[in-house]
Amino acid sequence: QKEVEQDPGPLSVPEGAIVSLNCTYSNSAFQYFMWYRQYSRKGPELLMYTYSSGNKEDGRFTAQVDKSSKYISLFIRDSQPSDSATYLCAMSRGNNRLAFGKGNQVVVIP
Amino acid sequence: ETGVTQTPRHLVMGMTNKKSLKCEQHLGHNAMYWYKQSAKKPLELMFVYNFKEQTENNSVPSRFSPECPNSSHLFLHLHTLQPEDSALYLCASSQLDSDSTDTQYFGPGTRLTVL
C-alpha cells in the first residue's frame, strides 16, 4: 500500500464551481499536512499548511484534515481559470521528509 | 533574487556528457533537497542536506552526485546519464528547528532531457 494515495484526475470544472480534491494516507504518524499548487513548467508552490484535524481557510481555499479517517481534502470555492494547475498533497511525520501524492490536474473552463 | 532559484531551466544532454545543475536559496534555510519529478509519479526524494551535511541518499545511482558547499547552494553533478533519467529536477529548502513544520519551498526546476 502506498503511503499517500491521490487520484491524478484530470478534473475539469466550469468557472465558479467548487473544486474538491482529496488524499488518503496509511501512516498514522503523519502530523503535518500540506497542499502545493504546480503550474505547468513551474515548481510546486506551497498553498496551504495544517497540522490538526479540522478545517483551515485562506481566502477561497479550505484545507480539511480528518486524522481518524486518514483523509485530507482541499476545496477551492468560486474557481477561476487561473486555478488551473496540478495540486499535490504532501505530509510529514516531523522528520523533514515529505511524502507526496501523485498530483491532481485541475482544469477550470471559462 | 528571492526564494529558490535553479539554473539552467532546460538542459539537453547526450549520454556521455557531464553537466551540473545549480540551486540557490535566498530564504536563510538550513536544509536543502533534490527531487526528481516524472510524469504520473509522486515526487521522488533523491538527496537531503541538513546544515551542509548529506543525511540521505535514497538509493540514487552514482551517475548523480550532489554537492553542498554551503547552506545556500546545492549542486547536482550529472555523468553518463540514461534516457530514463529525463525528468524535472526540483530543488527545495526548509528551515530545521524545534518549531519546524517541515514545509519545503521549491525552485522552478530544471527540465532535463537525455538523448
Contacts of B107 in chain A (CB under 8 A): 43
Contact assessment for residue B48 and residue B55, using Cβ atoms and an 8 Å cutoff: yes
Nearest to A43 among B40, B100, B107 (CB): B107
Q: Please state, as a whole number, how many other Cβ atoms lie within 10 Å of the Cβ of residue B91.
A: 29
CB contact under 8 A, B43 and A45: no
Helix, strand, coil: what percent of chain B each, to 5? 5, 55, 40
**Phi, psi dihedrals of residue B84, rounded to the nearest 5°:** -70, -5
Interior angle at CA B86, CA B84 and CA B92, nearest 5: 125
Contacts of B45 in chain A (CB under 8 A): 97-98
Contact assessment for residue B60 and residue B47, using Cβ atoms and an 8 Å cutoff: yes
Residue B70: Cβ-neighbour burial (10 angstroms; 0-12, 13-18, 19+): exposed
The reported pLDDT for the residue numbered A1 is 65
Nearest to B102 among A94, A102, A103 (CB): A94
Minimal CA separation from A94 to chain B, in Å: 6
Contacts of A52 in chain B (CB under 8 A): none
Chain B positions with Cβ closer than 8 Å to A: 4, 6, 31, 40-43, 45, 48, 50, 56, 90, 94, 96, 100-109, 111
Q: Please state, as a whole number, how many other Cβ atoms lie within 10 Å of the Cβ of residue A94.
A: 13
pLDDT tens digits, A41-69? 899 999 999 988 899 999 999 999 999 99
Minimal CA separation from B63 to chain A, in Å: 23
Mean pLDDT score of chain A: 93
For residues B51 and B70, give the distance between their C-alpha atoms in angstroms, rounded to a whole number. 8
The reported pLDDT for the residue numbered A63 is 96
Tens place of pLDDT per residue across chain B (115 aa): 579 999 999 999 988 889 999 999 999 999 999 999 998 888 999 999 988 777 777 789 999 999 999 999 999 999 999 999 999 999 999 998 766 678 899 999 999 999 9
The rounded percent of chain A whose pLDDT value lies above 70 is 99
The reported pLDDT for the residue numbered A101 is 94
CB contact under 8 A, B45 and A98: yes
For residues A99 and A2, give the distance between their C-alpha atoms in angstroms, rounded to a whole number. 10
In 3-state terms, what secondary structure has residue B95? Answer: coil
